[in-house]
Amino acid sequence: MTRRIALAFTGASGMPYGIRLLECLLAAGIKVELLYSQVAQIVARQEMDLALPARPSEVQALFAERFGAAEAQLAVYGREEWFAPLASGSNPPDAMVICPCTMGTLAAIAAGLSSNLIERAADVCLKERRTLVLVPRETPFSTLHLENMLKLSRMGVVILPPSPGFYTHPKSVQDMVDFVVARVLDQLAVPNTLMPRWGDETRESDA
Protein backbone atom coordinates (compact mmCIF):
# COMPACT_ATOMS: atom_id res chain seq x y z
CA MET A 1 0.00 0.00 0.00
CA THR A 2 1.30 3.47 -0.92
CA ARG A 3 2.16 5.56 2.10
CA ARG A 4 0.43 8.90 2.63
CA ILE A 5 2.40 11.78 4.08
CA ALA A 6 1.02 15.23 4.75
CA LEU A 7 3.40 18.12 4.09
CA ALA A 8 2.71 21.70 5.12
CA PHE A 9 4.52 24.89 4.20
CA THR A 10 4.12 27.80 6.63
CA GLY A 11 5.55 31.31 6.62
CA ALA A 12 8.93 30.73 8.25
CA SER A 13 12.13 31.18 6.31
CA GLY A 14 13.37 27.92 4.82
CA MET A 15 11.11 27.27 1.83
CA PRO A 16 13.92 25.52 -0.09
CA TYR A 17 13.79 22.75 2.54
CA GLY A 18 10.08 22.25 2.02
CA ILE A 19 10.21 22.27 -1.77
CA ARG A 20 13.13 19.83 -1.86
CA LEU A 21 11.34 17.58 0.62
CA LEU A 22 8.26 17.55 -1.62
CA GLU A 23 10.41 16.62 -4.60
CA CYS A 24 12.06 13.75 -2.72
CA LEU A 25 8.81 12.36 -1.34
CA LEU A 26 7.25 12.29 -4.79
CA ALA A 27 10.40 10.70 -6.26
CA ALA A 28 10.15 7.99 -3.59
CA GLY A 29 6.60 7.10 -4.69
CA ILE A 30 4.91 8.59 -1.61
CA LYS A 31 1.39 9.96 -1.91
CA VAL A 32 1.68 13.54 -0.68
CA GLU A 33 -1.11 15.69 0.72
CA LEU A 34 0.18 19.26 0.56
CA LEU A 35 -1.00 22.24 2.59
CA TYR A 36 0.34 25.79 2.57
CA SER A 37 -0.41 29.07 4.31
CA GLN A 38 -0.83 32.49 2.72
CA VAL A 39 2.41 33.70 4.26
CA ALA A 40 4.17 30.68 2.75
CA GLN A 41 3.27 32.11 -0.64
CA ILE A 42 5.13 35.32 0.25
CA VAL A 43 8.16 33.40 1.53
CA ALA A 44 8.27 31.21 -1.59
CA ARG A 45 8.41 34.28 -3.80
CA GLN A 46 10.98 36.02 -1.60
CA GLU A 47 13.36 33.07 -1.18
CA MET A 48 12.92 31.14 -4.43
CA ASP A 49 11.21 33.48 -6.90
CA LEU A 50 8.46 30.87 -6.84
CA ALA A 51 4.90 32.08 -7.35
CA LEU A 52 2.53 29.74 -5.52
CA PRO A 53 -0.99 30.27 -6.89
CA ALA A 54 -3.80 30.98 -4.46
CA ARG A 55 -5.89 28.10 -5.80
CA PRO A 56 -4.85 24.65 -4.53
CA SER A 57 -5.74 23.05 -7.87
CA GLU A 58 -3.23 25.30 -9.62
CA VAL A 59 -0.52 24.52 -7.07
CA GLN A 60 -1.23 20.83 -7.58
CA ALA A 61 -0.82 21.17 -11.34
CA LEU A 62 2.36 23.24 -10.90
CA PHE A 63 4.18 20.74 -8.70
CA ALA A 64 2.84 17.66 -10.48
CA GLU A 65 4.35 18.92 -13.73
CA ARG A 66 7.55 20.24 -12.12
CA PHE A 67 8.35 17.01 -10.30
CA GLY A 68 6.73 14.50 -12.64
CA ALA A 69 4.25 13.22 -10.07
CA ALA A 70 2.21 10.18 -11.00
CA GLU A 71 -1.53 10.59 -11.45
CA ALA A 72 -3.30 11.07 -8.09
CA GLN A 73 0.06 11.02 -6.26
CA LEU A 74 -0.20 14.66 -5.18
CA ALA A 75 -3.24 16.28 -3.57
CA VAL A 76 -3.24 19.94 -2.49
CA TYR A 77 -5.79 21.33 -0.06
CA GLY A 78 -6.72 24.83 1.03
CA ARG A 79 -6.46 25.96 4.64
CA GLU A 80 -10.24 25.81 5.08
CA GLU A 81 -10.99 22.53 3.27
CA TRP A 82 -12.50 20.75 6.27
CA PHE A 83 -13.67 17.81 4.16
CA ALA A 84 -10.08 16.91 3.26
CA PRO A 85 -9.23 13.35 4.40
CA LEU A 86 -6.50 14.44 6.81
CA ALA A 87 -8.97 16.58 8.78
CA SER A 88 -10.43 13.47 10.41
CA GLY A 89 -9.04 10.78 12.64
CA SER A 90 -10.97 8.29 10.54
CA ASN A 91 -8.59 8.90 7.63
CA PRO A 92 -5.27 10.24 8.98
CA PRO A 93 -2.04 10.33 6.99
CA ASP A 94 0.73 7.94 7.95
CA ALA A 95 2.87 10.92 8.96
CA MET A 96 3.00 14.69 8.73
CA VAL A 97 5.80 17.21 8.31
CA ILE A 98 5.55 20.98 8.68
CA CYS A 99 8.58 22.37 6.86
CA PRO A 100 9.29 25.16 7.41
CA CYS A 101 7.29 25.62 10.61
CA THR A 102 6.61 29.03 12.11
CA MET A 103 6.75 29.45 15.86
CA GLY A 104 3.12 30.58 15.70
CA THR A 105 2.06 27.30 14.08
CA LEU A 106 4.16 25.37 16.59
CA ALA A 107 2.53 27.24 19.48
CA ALA A 108 -0.96 26.61 18.10
CA ILE A 109 -0.28 22.87 17.83
CA ALA A 110 1.13 22.82 21.37
CA ALA A 111 -2.04 24.52 22.61
CA GLY A 112 -4.33 22.11 20.77
CA LEU A 113 -5.77 24.75 18.44
CA SER A 114 -7.30 23.76 15.10
CA SER A 115 -8.16 27.07 13.50
CA ASN A 116 -7.07 25.95 10.03
CA LEU A 117 -6.43 22.68 8.20
CA ILE A 118 -2.68 22.71 8.91
CA GLU A 119 -3.27 22.87 12.66
CA ARG A 120 -6.13 20.37 12.50
CA ALA A 121 -4.08 17.85 10.51
CA ALA A 122 -1.30 18.12 13.09
CA ASP A 123 -3.82 17.66 15.89
CA VAL A 124 -5.13 14.53 14.15
CA CYS A 125 -1.59 13.12 13.93
CA LEU A 126 -1.12 13.74 17.65
CA LYS A 127 -4.33 12.08 18.75
CA GLU A 128 -3.91 9.16 16.36
CA ARG A 129 -0.28 8.63 17.45
CA ARG A 130 1.10 9.22 13.95
CA THR A 131 4.57 10.61 13.29
CA LEU A 132 4.63 14.40 13.36
CA VAL A 133 7.82 16.24 12.40
CA LEU A 134 8.20 19.99 12.85
CA VAL A 135 11.04 21.90 11.22
CA PRO A 136 11.09 25.24 13.10
CA ARG A 137 13.21 27.96 11.50
CA GLU A 138 13.83 30.65 14.09
CA THR A 139 16.87 31.98 15.93
CA PRO A 140 17.40 32.61 18.72
CA PHE A 141 14.65 30.65 20.46
CA SER A 142 12.80 32.46 23.21
CA THR A 143 11.97 30.73 26.49
CA LEU A 144 8.38 30.41 25.28
CA HIS A 145 9.54 28.78 22.02
CA LEU A 146 11.62 26.30 23.97
CA GLU A 147 8.78 25.52 26.38
CA ASN A 148 6.41 24.86 23.49
CA MET A 149 8.93 22.60 21.78
CA LEU A 150 9.56 20.69 25.01
CA LYS A 151 5.82 20.25 25.49
CA LEU A 152 5.46 18.82 21.99
CA SER A 153 8.54 16.65 22.33
CA ARG A 154 7.03 15.05 25.41
CA MET A 155 4.00 14.19 23.26
CA GLY A 156 6.24 12.36 20.81
CA VAL A 157 6.60 15.11 18.22
CA VAL A 158 9.95 15.23 16.42
CA ILE A 159 11.46 18.72 16.66
CA LEU A 160 13.99 18.96 13.84
CA PRO A 161 15.58 22.41 13.47
CA PRO A 162 17.17 22.87 10.04
CA SER A 163 20.77 22.75 11.25
CA PRO A 164 23.05 21.44 8.49
CA GLY A 165 26.20 19.64 9.50
CA PHE A 166 29.56 20.53 8.01
CA TYR A 167 31.39 17.24 8.49
CA THR A 168 30.18 16.29 5.00
CA HIS A 169 32.11 19.26 3.54
CA PRO A 170 29.15 20.82 1.69
CA LYS A 171 30.13 22.56 -1.53
CA SER A 172 26.87 24.45 -2.15
CA VAL A 173 23.70 25.72 -0.55
CA GLN A 174 21.94 22.75 -2.14
CA ASP A 175 24.23 20.39 -0.26
CA MET A 176 23.20 22.04 3.02
CA VAL A 177 19.53 21.88 2.08
CA ASP A 178 19.89 18.19 1.24
CA PHE A 179 21.54 17.50 4.59
CA VAL A 180 18.45 18.73 6.44
CA VAL A 181 15.97 17.09 4.06
CA ALA A 182 17.79 13.79 4.47
CA ARG A 183 17.32 13.97 8.22
CA VAL A 184 13.59 14.60 7.75
CA LEU A 185 13.32 11.66 5.36
CA ASP A 186 15.10 9.48 7.92
CA GLN A 187 12.44 10.35 10.50
CA LEU A 188 9.79 9.28 7.97
CA ALA A 189 11.66 6.03 7.20
CA VAL A 190 11.93 7.06 3.54
CA PRO A 191 15.17 5.65 2.06
CA ASN A 192 17.45 8.28 0.55
CA THR A 193 21.03 8.93 -0.48
CA LEU A 194 21.00 12.71 -0.27
CA MET A 195 24.02 12.88 2.00
CA PRO A 196 26.87 10.59 3.01
CA ARG A 197 26.36 8.62 6.21
CA TRP A 198 28.94 8.79 8.96
CA GLY A 199 31.82 6.59 7.84
CA ASP A 200 30.45 6.38 4.28
CA GLU A 201 32.10 8.58 1.66
CA THR A 202 29.60 7.89 -1.13
CA ARG A 203 26.98 10.43 -2.11
CA GLU A 204 24.22 10.49 -4.68
CA SER A 205 22.46 13.61 -5.91
CA ASP A 206 18.87 12.38 -5.68
CA ALA A 207 16.66 10.52 -3.24
Query: 13 among the known binding-site residues?
Result: yes
Continuous H helices in the chain: 15-27, 38-48, 56-67, 103-110, 117-127, 143-154, 173-187
Residue 183, annotated as binding a ligand: yes
Q: How far is CA 65 from CA 69, 74, 111, 176, in A?
A: 7, 11, 37, 25
Q: In angstroms, rounded to a whole number, what is the distance separating the alpha carbons of residues 122 and 87?
A: 9
Is 37 one of the annotated binding-site residues?
yes
Flag whether 10 is marked binding.
Answer: no
89 annotated binding-site participant: no
Q: Is 11 annotated as a binding residue?
A: yes
CB 101 within 8 A of CB 118: no
Phi, psi of 191 (to 5 degrees): -60, 140
Query: By the 8 A CB rule, do 87 and 118 touch?
Result: no
| Number of CB atoms found within 10 A of residue 68's CB | 11
User: Does 14 count as an annotated binding residue?
Assistant: no
**Is 29 labelled a binding residue?**
no
Instruction: Consult the annotation and say whether 165 binds a ligand.
Output: no
104 is in an annotated binding site: yes
Exposure string over 118-157, b if 16+ CB within 10 A, otherwise e: bbbbbbbbbeeebbbbbbbbbeeeeeebeebbeebeeeeb
**Is there a binding annotation on residue 137?**
yes
Q: Which residues are annotated as a binding site for FMN?
A: 11-13, 37, 102-105, 137
Q: Which residues are annotated as a binding site for dimethylallyl phosphate?
A: 167, 183
Q: Which residues are annotated as a binding site?
A: 11-13, 37, 102-105, 137, 167, 183
